Amino acid sequence: MDAHILLTNLTNPTLLFFVLGIVATAVKSDLEIPPTTVKFISLYLLFSIGFKGGQELAHSPFNAEILYSLGFGLLVSALIPMYTFFVLKRRLSVADAGAVAAAYGSVSAVTFVAAVSFLEAQQLHFGGHMVAVMALMEAPAIIVGVMLMLRYEAADTAVTAPRLGPIVQHAFTNGSVLMVLGSLVIGLIADTKQADGIKPFTTDIFKGFLAIFLLEMGMVTARRFTAFLRYGRFVTAFAVFVPLLNGCVVAVASHFVTESVGNRFIFAILAASASYIAVPAAMRLAAPKADPGLYLPMALGVTFPFNITLGMPLYFALVQHT
């Protein structure tokens, strides 16, 4: 791993605000960002990423690489829960294993946003179609996770099996997915001159809003980190090493899909990330017995901090040298 890239990432102002959030919670500060403000900022970040992705896609020729990228993203999202479920089932209940597997097969939009900021710091670009890849990777993991739960809980006749239809619909109509896909389409069809008129809002203030959002994420992370310690070292190790494995494997395998360093890095970070928004919402319907105090802190308290501090420089170095 390039020490300079690692140092640059660790001294990135947006990441330092994440650390400040952790410190604020650790010292029991009364620092607080209103929930409505946090929701607005999260919607803004998704809007900005989607819109800019649509604009880039509008100026890019539609080719086989885009189709391969979409297919590769869907495949990765479906395969990860298939193997992680059986690893988890050795130590966790079927419902918990399915929920965690779905979370790690799905993606984190916030990690994606942080990855975009990382690429900008390296003065590298990524294809606009990668925004669509991110949005489409939400659903397959949820579907696979639920199907595995249904298969291995079949003996429990006291539990009514959840219907797959509403769960799939929720995966695609989830607010974060709808916002980023809708913004992508709008950016794709919007007039270029008219789009330039809102560029100060979509681009210039992006990193400032990201810093405030990561401040909130730092406080949330610190509050939830201790919630799952009762599960022991296994889940902590899983939350570090499985995303690391997924990110490294996809960083290398993505070479067969695209030559773009930026696109390959995005693929790696998507594979390494874990959902803590879309999947928990879906699991309320699909797996009411699964413990949110397990899969939420794993994704947000361990995997997310690992990816934005050490993971991104590692995946970037791997992409550069393979």
Q: Band of the pLDDT at 200, cuts 50, 70, 90?
A: confident
CB 137 within 8 A of CB 69: no
Residue range 178-185: mean pLDDT, rounded = 81
Query: Has residue 161 got a pLDDT over 60?
Result: no
Say which residues have a Cβ less than 8 Å from residue 234's Cβ, sequence separation at least 6.
91
The region of weakest confidence among 90-104, 140-154, 259-273 is: 140-154
The per-residue pLDDT for 159 is: 53
Strands (DSSP E) found in the chain: none
| This prediction's pTM | 0.80
Residue range 54-68: mean pLDDT, rounded = 83
- Domain range 3-25+32-320, its CATH number among 1.20.140, 1.20.1530, 2.30.30, 1.10.10: 1.20.1530
Q: Band of the pLDDT at 68, cuts 50, 70, 90?
A: very high
Query: Has residue 154 got a pLDDT over 70?
Result: no
CB 254 within 8 A of CB 189: no
**CA-based nearest residue to 189, from 63, 62, 54:** 54
Q: CA 249, CA 305: separation in Å to the nearest integer? A: 20
Q: Band of the pLDDT at 282, cuts 50, 70, 90?
A: confident
First CA to last CA across the chain, in angstroms? 13
Cα separation values, 31 from 21, 43, 223, Å: 9, 22, 13
